[in-house]
Amino acid sequence: MHRLRHLWQAFASHFLHEVLLHSLRGSLLVGGMVMLISGTGAWKYVGNSMQAHDMRRAAAWSAHVEPSKVLVVAIDDTGFDAFYGGKSPLDRSQLQRMLNVVASSAPHAKGIVLDLDLSPVPGDAQEDLLAFFKQQPARWVLAEPVRKVEDDSPTRKAWRTSLCSAGVRMGLPYLPTEFGYVLSTQQFGGALSDVALRGDAGCSLLPTESPAVAGALARHTVLMSPDYMQQGNVLPFQGDLALLGASIAALDPTWVVVGGTWGSSDLLNTPMGERYGVQLHAAVLDGVERGEHQSSFLVQLLVAWLVVSMIGLQIDWVQGLMGTYVDPWVASLPGHRFLKLRLWPIALALLVFLHVTLVSELLAILHAHTQYWIGSAETVVVVMGTLMFVWNWGLTESSAHHTVSHVWHASFLEPVLEDWRSLKQALGMLFARIRRSGGDNTPPVGKLRAGFEVLLAGASLCGQTVLPTAVFVHHLFFAGAH
């Protein structure tokens, strides 16, 4: 029991030390390097890669045994050739026949989302299709592919106005991408899935109604379902309407998303490989239906600090052994020096890699079973930053923190008070014309030196206490809010 209590005190001390080191009393070197790295495109690429890894592992651990209630009706190459004659835009009368079967076979669906360009086509049966949508306007969400105001036309405006006034919802068919990959954690406001989930007529959000394109395409956090991106619930349409209707009725979907999977023009790169846009819109809907949600910034930091604390305990143990069996002979025995200065940093790097991999896998299991995603990117950057700049690859001797109280005083209270006392004393010397005599080996402190100390002590207090605390609070309540 005494050993467990000692281990708990050691862990609590390490954890508090990490909290103070990364929030209230920070290192300018660590903070500066983290800010520099996090603002680069390279780090954004690494962060996106970590997100993709998280999604892949969550899909691999997924425990979902029943199929999703979000159904994709995919017009594949066979259906495109056999039913639509291999021509695009799709024949409107044929499309109406197909959509009539979809609507009548899914009576309980919250909505039917069409990831197809149904804007007016000269000489086609557009009026009949408009009348069909207006029969049950609340069921349909149509795609509006115009991005810019100058791309609009009077005919298209009249078509959209007619549908919107009847209550048919419309959304943008676009998905946000970065570095050539679809972002699985963000969606555009006014996109198909966003309009479908809000349940209102999203016509006012279309950029064709206003030149404020950037506002219309603002991003917000919505997680795609990793399970759906991995395997989905796709029903290929190959031209047989009877089979299509029977299959939809048997599945009784909550949402139906209709789109094209012919050719390769709508293929997008995802963490699971190439997927069609219609599958990704459905993955957003499935994510919301399953309750996919992302952890707060604070939770991500807590996980990172826990990992660093666990590794710190192990470093303490190894350094204690080395202090007994290796350090006394480092100066005289080259082999011991090689172990201390070369092999130990490599072993620590491997230890850090194993911990990060294990934690990432555990977080993926949690995500798969609870739909609660704690991203591993924050853990990686905190652990790697600590490894390089605080532990110095294991070459810096760890501080001996025996109790939580000792950590509070040694890591936070005493350094802050020391800065404050020096600043206060230097200000007194500067304005009260006090000249402090030096000690045995310290020269006297004049006004010029006192003024210089005011600047340095103030910079230390602001840079290592005020600024880290302000940045931490800002990220916690603003930048990190989800």
Please give the Cα distance from 325 to 347 (Å, whole number): 17
Determine the Cα–Cα distance for residues 312 and 319; give it in Å rounded to an integer: 10
Q: Is the dihedral of CA 384, 387, 393, 394 positive or negative?
A: negative
Dihedral angle, C-alpha 249, 250, 254, 255, nearest 10 °: -60
Q: Which pLDDT band holds residue 209 (cuts at 50, 70, 90)?
A: very low
Q: What percent of the chain has pLDDT over 90?
A: 43
Mean pLDDT value across residues 76-92: 94
| Beta strand 255-260 pairing with 70-75 | parallel
Q: Which secondary-structure segment (H or E) carries 170?
A: strand 169-171
**d(C-alpha 14, C-alpha 187), whole Å:** 39
Q: Which of residues 281 and 32 earns the better pLDDT score?
A: 281
Region 194-214: mean pLDDT is 60
Instruction: Identify the band that residue 150 occupies on the pLDDT scale cut at 50, 70 and 90.
Output: low
In the predicted model, is pLDDT for residue 289 greater than 60? yes
Residue 254 in contact with residue 108, Cβ under 8 Å?
yes
pLDDT at position 438 over 60: no
pLDDT on residue 226? 93
pLDDT, the chain, mean: 83
Residue 169 or 436, more confident: 169
- The answer to whether 101 touches 241, Cβ cutoff 8 Å, is yes
Whole-number percent of the chain with pLDDT over 70:
79
pTM over the 0.85 mark: no
Q: Shortest CA distance to 356 belongs to which of 380, 373, 375?
A: 380
Per-residue pLDDT band for 481 (boundaries 50, 70, 90) equals very low
Count of residues in the chain: 482
What average pLDDT does range 5-19 have in this prediction?
A: 68
Strand 219-221 to 186-188 pairing = antiparallel
Write out the DSSP string of 252-265.
--SEEEEEE-SSST
CB 276 within 8 A of CB 261: yes
pLDDT at 56 exceeding the cut of 50: yes
**Please, where are the H alpha helices in 64-212?**
77-84, 92-105, 126-135, 154-166, 192-198
299-339, pLDDT tens digit by residue? 988 898 889 888 988 998 899 899 999 999 999 999 999 99
Select the more confidently predicted residue: 426 or 214.
426
Q: What's the number of CA atoms in the CB half-sphere (13 Å) around residue 165?
A: 8
Tokens of 265: 């023009």
